Amino acid sequence: MQRWIDTHCHLDEFAAHGGMAYADAERIRAAQAGVAHCVLPAVELANLQAVRAMAQRHGDSYALGIHPLYTPQAGEDDIQALAAALQQCRPDPRLVAVGEIGLDFFVPGLDPERQQRFYRAQLQLARRFDLPVILHVRRSADQLLKSLRELPVRGGIAHAFNGSLQQAQAFIDLGFKLGFGGAVTYERALQLRRLATELPLYALVLETDAPDIPPHWLYVTAAERAAGRAPARNSPAELPRIAAVVAALRGISGAELARATRDNACAALPRLASLLG
């Protein structure tokens, strides 16, 4: 069995919605499927301790940051509180990045300037603590890249990347790997599948974003939801099947993809190497 790395999984959300036993069961199911390690990014100050505790509970790793969708409720002193948390957790080998941070210009009602302010402040923290970053990239690649060139960091992962080939290369040139997950399993995702096929293998990492971004076999249509079927929750246990789609697109074996994406994850998040053995 191949050993996979899920570089982006919100396992703490399973505990928040279904209790710790539910989260434990999903992580065990993922391990049984071959997922050897999950990276758990925080999204706001309120869940910093939760992701840290969850990572320690399951032998995984975590990132600390403020997600752009949570900037409306973030206080002006939250950056100082995040800095204090990063300082406190600095000796912990399971702290692998600052994240999830970035910009979201898709969701309506978010203040672009406020997002930029929090994003740039967190890039400064990544520089201060010499950590890579895990980036939320949603219709914002060029703006993210602009700040990265002005405030270069130690690379990281562009999560759920779905930009152009030129933008992909720009992230790669800045030391980033690109995260591919459930969205690549949809046949209509032509541009994304092209990227997964044509980008150099050393640029790819795998992720689920569980419980979000379900693969096509879990997708619940609007008609099904209207008929009363609950939306599907993605799981880290789906990663091997997502990986099989990527391997098929590239015409390589699962074993080759597992080795490469494991090495790529360690290159993007150097602290991972000591945890994986």
pLDDT at 30: 98
pLDDT band for position 220 (cuts 50, 70, 90): confident
Q: For residue 85, what pLDDT is reported?
A: 98
Return the structure tokens found at 7.
């570089």
Contact assessment for residue 210 and residue 160, using Cβ atoms and an 8 Å cutoff: no
Do the beta carbons of residue 236 and residue 206 sit within 8 Å?
no
Strand, coil or helix: 205: strand
- CA pair distance 81, 66, nearest whole angstrom: 11
Identify the CATH class of 4-276.
alpha beta
| Dihedral Cα 189, 195, 196, 199, nearest 10 deg | 180
3-state DSSP assignment of residue 179: strand
Domain boundaries, the chain: 4-276
* Overall residue count recorded for the chain in this entry: 277
> Does 277 have pLDDT greater than 80?
no
Tokens of 186: 């949809």
If you average pLDDT over residues 115-123, what whole number do you get?
98
pLDDT for 250 equals: 98
Question: What pLDDT, on the 0 to 100 scale, is given for residue 228?
Answer: 78
